[in-house]
Structure 1
């Protein structure tokens, strides 16, 4: 299959999957609380525990991708995610929701790492980051389309409409699985060269680097949980500012992710990207805190949108730096396992992030925002030393020959 055919199938899969995600994640909270009559507190606990299951599953599934081939494992994971999404229809209380949520989160989180591993092994070094960035652009555009359909579902509100939307979401996984099945198969790692299933957990430089940079993933909880609460409780800005902020963010990511990712083509630039991300996200937190001092709704809205500008920069550079660092510091013939750990660290932050951000923003108000900013800065501080430590291992994969031979990590 030609490189163009491979890229088109990868992007098509991202688009179909993104549409389903946009549809589902825009309606799930309302579906569980209003349609299934599950108390909000129980729902939040079940979804949160499910996130822990995603954290635990990512490395074992990544190891399976090394041993059986990333395409085959990805197809199975996507199909299982489709089945789990259908099972949500039958989740009518805390325990059933907990079981389904654990299954769904396990395959959702682990699939992220397997997909990156597949992209890495199907494409050459000059195309990997570009295609990952293009996939994120396509995903965001499709996500916005799915969210638009979700608004129609929420406006209608009938039970069968919610069920139909869940089945539509499940069908997107079937289509995506078929698309992935048409990709060339990647040979699994030969048995004699396979790494132990816990090898990545003993790779302290990589484990440390992925753990500290995963804290920058709090940017997503900041946007999904912290900002809506802050606008409602702590500022004079109208509530529709939340939707405007999300729309601006999605549009900016679609426009600039590929361009920004080109700046993370090697390890030194990826390290710098993580620092830029941390600085931008810290600035975003300070600016959001300042919105509390604006008593006029228009001024508060303008301040929040200014903060969103910093947030967008932070998110763009965070994603780029994670790709550059995680791909550049993998160990050969253990790509799935290493990307599984990368997905696991992000999954852990994503699972715990909403509770942390909500507690700081609602409980400490402006001080909470400042503490979040400090946390972002602290997460980037050790990246340079950790990258130098990881770079001493000759087994590492690098995205550019110049990364190790001709450049030093500053």
Structure 2
């Protein structure tokens, strides 16, 4: 079920896909170093930006939230065009440029002090951040042989979790200070991490652009309705991240007998299990059939997680409530592992050859859109509808996976139809 029915020119090996044991190992190491450096900066920035903008820059919380939300949403629009540029210029070359841009653009937050300046800074930085995720997957696809792609992506995610946590730890120290200096220094470190990431990427072999006669006009991905629908529906499963970071802490604090400190513990435990099992679970998504199964497992597990978190409000005893939360966490970890595996499997197997960057940009933008609205959505449901809100989330998770198999079949038929007329 892994054949997309593409033409022979579309399924022929690309440059860089051949097995290259020595240079291949070197490329993997550099990709992982790049991820480690970049994720440290990400953990540092995303753990401190809200406090920095409100406390240091003096921007009112409401204005800050609106500017970051609107700017972030606008920035998502750049992912597909930048992905198309990666097809035209080469994924490695474009990712180097995006990394340099990300390091430069984060410095805009040093000078912004009002709503409009913050909105522009957020839009530009999010454009680089989201585009980079799509181009990075494209680069792995181009550099690695087929049997190694998902493994390398999973290894990168393990490294990402470890160094992101280290960055968050550094942010904790910054947040413990009451002067502006450490915040400004931290922003410089975030910029430096992006520049170092670009330096590591330069050491990778250049990736060839798509030949002009096979080049997409730049809108192929957004016109591929089965792929767009599949990425949009499965992206809803990424609500699992704000569920744990935004929804659970509020739920523990106001609605359960479990201690609120259990919330950060769940994040640490989740990261530990992802580091231990992501590579193993990701192998289940190497075939399209396996990716569809992983999607179903993710939707069911995350739905069960929501119901268990809701049930934690009923016991009056802290220990029993905590045990139910931990049971929900186990379901969450299982669901998240399978969601990530399925997402890579689906997007890599169903994208069109010679438009990899464009398709991965679309995948990144759909997930980014959910990340933008997710915290507000989760918070509203959990604090407004209470148990009913958790039930709604459970339905969303399970319903999001229902059309996956049908959309995959439609995508395959569409691909075969284009190949027969091409």
- Both structures adopt the same fold (TM-score exceeding 0.5): yes
Q: Note if contact 1:54-1:347 (Cα within 8 Å) is conserved in structure 2.
A: no
Residue of structure 1 equivalent to 2:102: 81
Q: 1:143 aligns with which of 135, 160, 164?
A: 164
Question: Contact between 2:299 and 2:401, CA under 8 Å: does it hold in 1?
Answer: yes
Cα distance in structure 2, aligned partners of 1:189 and 1:257: 31
Structure 2 partner of 1:351: 372
What do residues 189-238 of structure 1 show as CA deviations (whole Å, max 9, x unaligned)? 11111011111111111111111111111111211211121112211222
2:396 to 354, 365, 375: 375
1:47 pairs with one of 59, 64, 68: 68
Which residue, 273, 276, 279 being the options, matches 2:297? 276
Residue of structure 2 in register with 1:230 after alignment: 251
Q: What corresponds to 1:208 in structure 2? A: 229
Within 2, Cα distance between the matches of 1:41 and 1:329? 41
Conserved 8 A contact 1:361-1:368: yes
In structure 1, the residue corresponding to 2:334 is in which secondary structure?
helix
What aligned pairs does 1:316-395 form with structure 2 within 5 A after superposition?
316-394=337-415
Instruction: Indicate the SS of the match to 2:258.
Output: coil
Q: CA deviation at 1:97?
A: 1.1
Q: How many residues are aligned here?
A: 396
Contact 2:75/2:122, CA 8 A, preserved across alignment: no
Q: The residue matched to 2:65 in structure 1 has which SS?
A: helix
In 1, the alpha carbon distance for the partners of 2:251 and 2:232 equals 28
Matched, 1:127 2:152: no
Q: Structure 1 CA distance, aligned partners of 2:369 and 2:275? A: 26
For 1:16, the equivalent position in structure 2 comes to: 37
Q: Where does residue 300 of structure 1 map in the other structure?
A: 321
**Distance in 1 of aligned mates of 2:180 and 2:141:** 42
Quote the offset at 1:395 in angstroms.
6.0
Distance in structure 2 (CA, Å) of the matches to 1:163 and 1:370: 42
Deviation of the 1:25 alpha carbon: 1.1
Contact kept, 8 Å, 1:27 with 1:150, in 2: the verdict is yes
Q: Are 1:130 and 1:258, in contact at CA under 8 Å, matched by a contact in 2? A: yes
1:240 Cα deviation after fit: 1.1
Q: Distance in 2 between matches of 1:225 and 1:43?
A: 17
TM-score, normalised relative to structure 1: 0.95
Is the CA contact (8 Å cut-off) linking 1:217 and 1:349 kept in structure 2?
yes
Cα deviation for residue 50 of structure 1 reads 2.2
Other-structure match for 1:106: 127
Native 8 Å contact 1:332 1:395 kept in 2? no
Q: Is the 8 A contact 1:50 1:106 kept in 2?
A: no
